[in-house]
Amino acid sequence: FVVHLLIGFVFVVSGLIINSIQLCTLVLWPCTLFADRATVGHFGKEHVVIVLNHNFEIDFLCGWTMCERFGVLGSSKVLAKRELLYVPLIGWTWYFLEIVFCKRKWEEDRDAVIKGLRRLAGYPEYVWFLLYCEGTRFTEKKHRVSMEVAASKGLPVLKYHLLPRTKGFTTAVQCLRGTVAAVYDVTLNFRGNKNPSLLGILYGKKYEADMCVRRFPLEEIPLDEKEAAQWLHKLYQEKDALQEMYNQKGVFPGEQFKPARRPWTLLNFLFWATLLLSPLFSFVLGVFASGSPLLILTFLGFVGAASFGVRRLIGVTEIEKGSSYGNQEFKKKE
Protein backbone atom coordinates (compact mmCIF):
# COMPACT_ATOMS: atom_id res chain seq x y z
CA PHE A 1 0.00 0.00 0.00
CA VAL A 2 2.80 2.39 0.92
CA VAL A 3 4.64 1.62 -2.33
CA HIS A 4 1.47 2.36 -4.30
CA LEU A 5 1.12 5.68 -2.50
CA LEU A 6 4.73 6.55 -3.24
CA ILE A 7 4.32 5.74 -6.93
CA GLY A 8 1.20 7.89 -6.94
CA PHE A 9 3.19 10.70 -5.33
CA VAL A 10 5.87 10.51 -8.04
CA PHE A 11 3.33 10.71 -10.84
CA VAL A 12 1.34 13.50 -9.23
CA VAL A 13 4.40 15.65 -8.48
CA SER A 14 5.82 15.07 -11.97
CA GLY A 15 2.47 15.89 -13.49
CA LEU A 16 2.14 19.09 -11.48
CA ILE A 17 5.63 20.21 -12.51
CA ILE A 18 4.80 19.63 -16.17
CA ASN A 19 1.44 21.36 -15.70
CA SER A 20 3.30 24.29 -14.11
CA ILE A 21 5.42 24.60 -17.24
CA GLN A 22 2.29 24.47 -19.37
CA LEU A 23 0.59 26.99 -17.07
CA CYS A 24 3.44 29.47 -17.55
CA THR A 25 3.13 29.26 -21.32
CA LEU A 26 -0.65 29.16 -21.62
CA VAL A 27 -1.52 31.85 -19.08
CA LEU A 28 1.52 34.08 -18.66
CA TRP A 29 3.17 34.19 -22.08
CA PRO A 30 2.41 37.11 -24.38
CA CYS A 31 2.08 35.88 -27.95
CA THR A 32 1.39 37.92 -31.08
CA LEU A 33 -0.04 36.49 -34.28
CA PHE A 34 0.72 38.02 -37.65
CA ALA A 35 -2.03 37.00 -40.08
CA ASP A 36 -4.98 38.32 -42.05
CA ARG A 37 -8.37 38.57 -40.37
CA ALA A 38 -9.93 35.89 -42.58
CA THR A 39 -7.28 33.35 -41.52
CA VAL A 40 -7.79 34.07 -37.82
CA GLY A 41 -11.53 33.64 -38.33
CA HIS A 42 -10.94 29.99 -39.26
CA PHE A 43 -8.95 29.13 -36.12
CA GLY A 44 -10.56 26.37 -34.07
CA LYS A 45 -13.29 25.80 -36.66
CA GLU A 46 -11.67 23.31 -39.05
CA HIS A 47 -9.32 20.34 -39.31
CA VAL A 48 -5.83 21.51 -40.31
CA VAL A 49 -2.24 20.41 -40.85
CA ILE A 50 0.27 22.80 -39.30
CA VAL A 51 3.81 23.21 -40.67
CA LEU A 52 6.09 24.80 -38.05
CA ASN A 53 9.80 25.67 -38.13
CA HIS A 54 11.88 23.64 -35.67
CA ASN A 55 14.49 26.11 -34.40
CA PHE A 56 13.75 26.39 -30.68
CA GLU A 57 13.78 24.11 -27.65
CA ILE A 58 10.23 25.02 -26.68
CA ASP A 59 8.48 25.55 -30.00
CA PHE A 60 6.08 22.73 -29.06
CA LEU A 61 4.94 24.79 -26.05
CA CYS A 62 4.11 27.68 -28.36
CA GLY A 63 1.98 25.24 -30.33
CA TRP A 64 0.19 24.20 -27.14
CA THR A 65 -0.41 27.88 -26.34
CA MET A 66 -2.14 28.53 -29.66
CA CYS A 67 -4.17 25.33 -29.44
CA GLU A 68 -5.37 26.22 -25.94
CA ARG A 69 -6.30 29.78 -26.82
CA PHE A 70 -8.44 28.62 -29.73
CA GLY A 71 -10.03 25.70 -27.88
CA VAL A 72 -8.38 22.73 -29.61
CA LEU A 73 -5.68 21.71 -27.13
CA GLY A 74 -7.43 18.44 -26.33
CA SER A 75 -7.49 17.43 -29.99
CA SER A 76 -4.05 18.69 -30.98
CA LYS A 77 -1.83 15.98 -32.47
CA VAL A 78 1.73 15.77 -33.74
CA LEU A 79 3.95 13.49 -35.80
CA ALA A 80 6.61 12.88 -33.14
CA LYS A 81 9.85 10.92 -32.98
CA ARG A 82 9.39 7.56 -31.28
CA GLU A 83 12.03 8.31 -28.63
CA LEU A 84 9.54 10.67 -26.98
CA LEU A 85 7.27 7.70 -26.26
CA TYR A 86 9.72 6.61 -23.56
CA VAL A 87 9.99 9.96 -21.78
CA PRO A 88 8.42 9.47 -18.33
CA LEU A 89 4.86 10.69 -17.97
CA ILE A 90 4.57 12.91 -21.03
CA GLY A 91 5.48 10.16 -23.50
CA TRP A 92 3.00 7.77 -21.95
CA THR A 93 0.35 10.49 -21.94
CA TRP A 94 0.94 11.18 -25.63
CA TYR A 95 0.47 7.49 -26.39
CA PHE A 96 -3.04 7.53 -24.93
CA LEU A 97 -3.78 10.83 -26.70
CA GLU A 98 -3.25 9.08 -30.06
CA ILE A 99 -0.10 10.99 -31.00
CA VAL A 100 1.43 9.54 -34.17
CA PHE A 101 4.97 8.28 -33.48
CA CYS A 102 7.64 7.50 -36.08
CA LYS A 103 11.23 6.22 -36.15
CA ARG A 104 12.15 8.71 -38.90
CA LYS A 105 12.96 5.86 -41.27
CA TRP A 106 10.29 5.94 -43.93
CA GLU A 107 10.55 2.27 -44.88
CA GLU A 108 9.70 1.33 -41.28
CA ASP A 109 7.31 4.20 -40.57
CA ARG A 110 5.05 4.12 -43.61
CA ASP A 111 2.41 1.66 -42.37
CA ALA A 112 2.30 3.02 -38.80
CA VAL A 113 2.05 6.64 -39.96
CA ILE A 114 -0.71 5.89 -42.47
CA LYS A 115 -2.65 3.94 -39.85
CA GLY A 116 -2.35 6.80 -37.35
CA LEU A 117 -3.41 9.40 -39.92
CA ARG A 118 -6.45 7.40 -40.98
CA ARG A 119 -7.46 7.12 -37.35
CA LEU A 120 -7.34 10.92 -37.07
CA ALA A 121 -9.52 11.25 -40.16
CA GLY A 122 -12.50 10.09 -38.13
CA TYR A 123 -11.78 12.24 -35.08
CA PRO A 124 -14.99 13.80 -33.70
CA GLU A 125 -13.43 17.18 -32.81
CA TYR A 126 -11.45 19.66 -34.88
CA VAL A 127 -7.86 18.39 -35.10
CA TRP A 128 -4.72 20.49 -35.43
CA PHE A 129 -2.03 18.09 -36.68
CA LEU A 130 1.52 19.44 -36.32
CA LEU A 131 4.35 18.51 -38.68
CA TYR A 132 8.01 19.43 -38.27
CA CYS A 133 8.91 18.87 -41.91
CA GLU A 134 12.61 19.46 -41.25
CA GLY A 135 12.58 16.25 -39.19
CA THR A 136 14.98 17.53 -36.53
CA ARG A 137 15.94 20.76 -34.77
CA PHE A 138 18.09 23.30 -36.56
CA THR A 139 21.80 23.33 -35.74
CA GLU A 140 24.67 24.78 -37.76
CA LYS A 141 26.12 21.32 -38.40
CA LYS A 142 22.82 19.88 -39.57
CA HIS A 143 22.21 22.95 -41.71
CA ARG A 144 25.58 22.57 -43.44
CA VAL A 145 24.92 18.93 -44.27
CA SER A 146 21.34 19.69 -45.31
CA MET A 147 22.44 22.39 -47.75
CA GLU A 148 24.96 20.00 -49.29
CA VAL A 149 22.01 17.74 -50.06
CA ALA A 150 20.03 20.68 -51.43
CA ALA A 151 22.88 21.59 -53.77
CA SER A 152 23.16 18.00 -54.98
CA LYS A 153 19.43 17.97 -55.81
CA GLY A 154 19.43 21.36 -57.48
CA LEU A 155 17.24 22.93 -54.79
CA PRO A 156 17.61 26.55 -53.63
CA VAL A 157 19.77 27.07 -50.54
CA LEU A 158 17.88 27.91 -47.33
CA LYS A 159 19.50 30.25 -44.84
CA TYR A 160 17.37 29.67 -41.74
CA HIS A 161 15.83 26.23 -42.25
CA LEU A 162 16.85 22.68 -42.99
CA LEU A 163 15.76 21.03 -46.21
CA PRO A 164 12.19 19.81 -45.61
CA ARG A 165 11.54 16.08 -45.76
CA THR A 166 8.56 15.63 -47.99
CA LYS A 167 7.34 12.07 -47.32
CA GLY A 168 5.51 12.81 -44.09
CA PHE A 169 3.90 15.92 -45.51
CA THR A 170 2.72 14.38 -48.79
CA THR A 171 1.43 11.29 -46.95
CA ALA A 172 -0.47 13.41 -44.40
CA VAL A 173 -2.05 15.50 -47.14
CA GLN A 174 -3.08 12.40 -49.10
CA CYS A 175 -4.49 10.52 -46.10
CA LEU A 176 -6.37 13.49 -44.68
CA ARG A 177 -7.96 14.81 -47.87
CA GLY A 178 -11.66 15.10 -47.33
CA THR A 179 -11.08 15.75 -43.63
CA VAL A 180 -8.48 18.52 -43.43
CA ALA A 181 -9.59 21.87 -44.82
CA ALA A 182 -6.26 23.70 -44.95
CA VAL A 183 -2.56 23.79 -44.20
CA TYR A 184 -1.39 26.47 -41.77
CA ASP A 185 2.19 27.57 -42.36
CA VAL A 186 3.57 28.92 -39.07
CA THR A 187 6.92 30.69 -38.67
CA LEU A 188 7.93 31.27 -35.05
CA ASN A 189 10.39 33.73 -33.53
CA PHE A 190 11.07 35.30 -30.15
CA ARG A 191 11.56 39.01 -29.64
CA GLY A 192 14.99 40.31 -28.78
CA ASN A 193 16.64 37.34 -30.53
CA LYS A 194 16.06 35.29 -27.40
CA ASN A 195 16.52 31.54 -27.47
CA PRO A 196 14.20 30.29 -24.70
CA SER A 197 14.54 27.00 -22.86
CA LEU A 198 12.41 24.82 -20.64
CA LEU A 199 14.71 25.54 -17.69
CA GLY A 200 14.27 29.24 -18.37
CA ILE A 201 10.51 28.84 -18.03
CA LEU A 202 10.93 26.98 -14.73
CA TYR A 203 13.15 29.85 -13.52
CA GLY A 204 10.37 32.31 -14.35
CA LYS A 205 11.90 33.99 -17.40
CA LYS A 206 9.48 35.81 -19.66
CA TYR A 207 9.54 35.38 -23.42
CA GLU A 208 7.52 37.16 -26.12
CA ALA A 209 6.64 34.97 -29.07
CA ASP A 210 5.74 36.16 -32.57
CA MET A 211 4.05 33.76 -34.99
CA CYS A 212 3.36 34.41 -38.65
CA VAL A 213 0.44 32.27 -39.81
CA ARG A 214 -0.59 31.75 -43.43
CA ARG A 215 -3.56 29.62 -44.47
CA PHE A 216 -3.49 27.49 -47.63
CA PRO A 217 -6.74 25.68 -48.57
CA LEU A 218 -5.98 22.00 -49.16
CA GLU A 219 -7.32 22.12 -52.69
CA GLU A 220 -4.41 24.44 -53.59
CA ILE A 221 -1.92 21.67 -52.82
CA PRO A 222 -1.32 19.33 -55.80
CA LEU A 223 -2.64 15.77 -55.70
CA ASP A 224 0.49 14.37 -57.33
CA GLU A 225 3.13 13.41 -54.76
CA LYS A 226 6.06 14.97 -56.65
CA GLU A 227 4.18 18.18 -57.26
CA ALA A 228 3.12 18.32 -53.60
CA ALA A 229 6.78 17.88 -52.62
CA GLN A 230 7.74 20.78 -54.91
CA TRP A 231 4.99 22.85 -53.30
CA LEU A 232 6.52 22.16 -49.87
CA HIS A 233 10.01 23.16 -51.03
CA LYS A 234 8.58 26.43 -52.35
CA LEU A 235 6.83 26.97 -49.01
CA TYR A 236 10.14 26.69 -47.17
CA GLN A 237 11.75 29.20 -49.50
CA GLU A 238 8.95 31.59 -48.52
CA LYS A 239 9.47 30.77 -44.83
CA ASP A 240 13.14 31.63 -45.26
CA ALA A 241 12.18 35.02 -46.72
CA LEU A 242 9.82 35.64 -43.80
CA GLN A 243 12.62 34.83 -41.36
CA GLU A 244 14.95 37.25 -43.16
CA MET A 245 12.31 39.99 -42.94
CA TYR A 246 11.84 39.37 -39.22
CA ASN A 247 15.58 39.55 -38.58
CA GLN A 248 15.79 42.87 -40.39
CA LYS A 249 12.59 44.57 -39.18
CA GLY A 250 11.68 42.75 -35.96
CA VAL A 251 8.16 42.01 -37.21
CA PHE A 252 6.39 39.76 -39.68
CA PRO A 253 4.10 41.12 -42.42
CA GLY A 254 0.37 41.19 -41.79
CA GLU A 255 -2.08 42.44 -39.21
CA GLN A 256 -1.24 41.78 -35.57
CA PHE A 257 -3.55 39.84 -33.23
CA LYS A 258 -3.13 38.98 -29.55
CA PRO A 259 -5.19 35.87 -28.74
CA ALA A 260 -7.17 36.27 -25.54
CA ARG A 261 -6.02 34.26 -22.56
CA ARG A 262 -8.58 31.85 -21.15
CA PRO A 263 -8.93 31.44 -17.37
CA TRP A 264 -9.78 27.74 -17.49
CA THR A 265 -6.18 26.51 -17.54
CA LEU A 266 -5.36 28.43 -14.36
CA LEU A 267 -8.57 27.30 -12.64
CA ASN A 268 -7.96 23.69 -13.67
CA PHE A 269 -4.41 23.76 -12.32
CA LEU A 270 -5.44 25.31 -9.01
CA PHE A 271 -8.27 22.79 -8.56
CA TRP A 272 -6.08 19.71 -9.08
CA ALA A 273 -3.19 21.16 -7.08
CA THR A 274 -5.49 21.78 -4.12
CA LEU A 275 -7.24 18.40 -4.43
CA LEU A 276 -4.08 16.31 -4.79
CA LEU A 277 -1.38 18.14 -2.87
CA SER A 278 -3.28 18.50 0.41
CA PRO A 279 -3.40 14.74 1.17
CA LEU A 280 0.05 14.24 -0.33
CA PHE A 281 1.62 16.79 2.00
CA SER A 282 -0.10 15.04 4.90
CA PHE A 283 1.37 11.76 3.67
CA VAL A 284 4.87 13.24 3.42
CA LEU A 285 4.65 14.56 6.97
CA GLY A 286 3.51 11.12 8.08
CA VAL A 287 6.50 9.46 6.40
CA PHE A 288 9.03 11.64 8.23
CA ALA A 289 7.08 11.50 11.48
CA SER A 290 7.17 7.70 11.38
CA GLY A 291 10.90 7.68 12.10
CA SER A 292 11.34 4.58 9.92
CA PRO A 293 14.67 4.80 8.03
CA LEU A 294 13.45 2.28 5.43
CA LEU A 295 10.25 4.22 4.73
CA ILE A 296 12.06 7.56 4.55
CA LEU A 297 14.76 6.19 2.21
CA THR A 298 12.13 4.58 0.01
CA PHE A 299 10.25 7.87 -0.16
CA LEU A 300 13.42 9.79 -1.08
CA GLY A 301 14.17 7.20 -3.75
CA PHE A 302 10.81 7.74 -5.37
CA VAL A 303 11.26 11.50 -5.20
CA GLY A 304 14.59 11.04 -6.96
CA ALA A 305 12.85 8.99 -9.65
CA ALA A 306 10.37 11.83 -10.17
CA SER A 307 13.23 14.34 -10.44
CA PHE A 308 14.97 12.10 -12.97
CA GLY A 309 11.80 11.89 -15.04
CA VAL A 310 11.41 15.66 -15.16
CA ARG A 311 15.12 16.14 -15.96
CA ARG A 312 14.77 13.58 -18.75
CA LEU A 313 11.91 15.60 -20.18
CA ILE A 314 13.99 18.79 -20.05
CA GLY A 315 16.95 17.00 -21.62
CA VAL A 316 14.85 15.95 -24.59
CA THR A 317 14.09 19.61 -25.33
CA GLU A 318 17.70 20.83 -25.15
CA ILE A 319 19.16 21.39 -28.60
CA GLU A 320 22.75 20.65 -27.59
CA LYS A 321 21.61 17.30 -26.22
CA GLY A 322 19.35 16.52 -29.17
CA SER A 323 19.66 13.53 -31.43
CA SER A 324 22.33 13.25 -34.11
CA TYR A 325 19.54 12.65 -36.60
CA GLY A 326 20.13 14.84 -39.60
CA ASN A 327 23.92 15.02 -39.37
CA GLN A 328 24.29 11.93 -41.51
CA GLU A 329 20.71 11.08 -42.36
CA PHE A 330 20.41 14.05 -44.68
CA LYS A 331 23.05 12.41 -46.82
CA LYS A 332 20.75 9.48 -47.41
CA LYS A 333 18.06 9.48 -50.03
CA GLU A 334 14.63 10.42 -48.69
Q: Kindly list the domain boundaries of the chain, sorted by start residue.
A: 29-261
Give residue 321's pLDDT band: very low, low, confident or very high (50, 70, 90): low
Least confident range from 35-44, 59-68, 317-326: namely: 317-326
pLDDT per residue as tens digits for the range 249-265: 999 998 999 987 777 76
pLDDT of residue 257: 94
| pLDDT the model gives residue 63 | 84
Whether the pLDDT of residue 240 is over 50: the answer is: yes
Mean pLDDT of the chain: 81
Q: What type of residue is 115?
A: K
- What single string gives the DSSP state of each residue in 284-329? HHHHHHH--HHHHHHHHHHHHHHHHHHHHHHHHH-GGGS--TTTTG
Q: What is the pLDDT of residue 279?
A: 73
Whether 22 shows a pLDDT value over 80: the answer reads no
Higher pLDDT pick, 104 / 129: 129
- Asked if 194 contacts 58 with a C-beta cutoff of 8 angstroms, the reply is no
267 falls in which pLDDT band (50, 70, 90)?
confident
Q: What is the pLDDT of residue 1?
A: 47
Torsion-angle region of residue 154: left (phi > 0), alpha (psi -120 to 50) or beta?
left
In this prediction, residue 290 has a pLDDT band, given cuts at 50, 70 and 90, of: confident
Q: How far is CA 82 from the centre of its chain?
A: 14
One-letter amino acid of 99: I
Output the pLDDT for position 27: 45
Is pLDDT above 70 for 283? yes
Mean pLDDT lowest for which of 8-22, 62-76, 227-241?
8-22
Residue 269: pLDDT over 70:
no
CA 315/CA 308 separation, integer angstroms: 10
Cα-based angle 327, 328, 334 (whole degrees, multiple of 5):
110
> CA quadruple 325, 331, 332, 334: dihedral positive or negative?
positive
**What local confidence, expressed as pLDDT, does residue 248 receive?**
93
pLDDT of 320 > 60? The answer is: no
Identify the pLDDT of residue 151.
Answer: 92
Q: What percent of the chain stands above pLDDT 90?
A: 38
Please determine, for residue 193, whether its predicted confidence score (pLDDT) is greater than 70. Answer: yes
What is the pTM (predicted TM-score) of this model?
Answer: 0.80
Which listed CATH number (1.20.120, 3.40.50, 3.40.1130, 3.30.470) goes with 29-261? Answer: 3.40.1130
Confidence of residue 150 (pLDDT cuts 50, 70, 90): very high
Confidence check: pLDDT of 179 > 80: yes
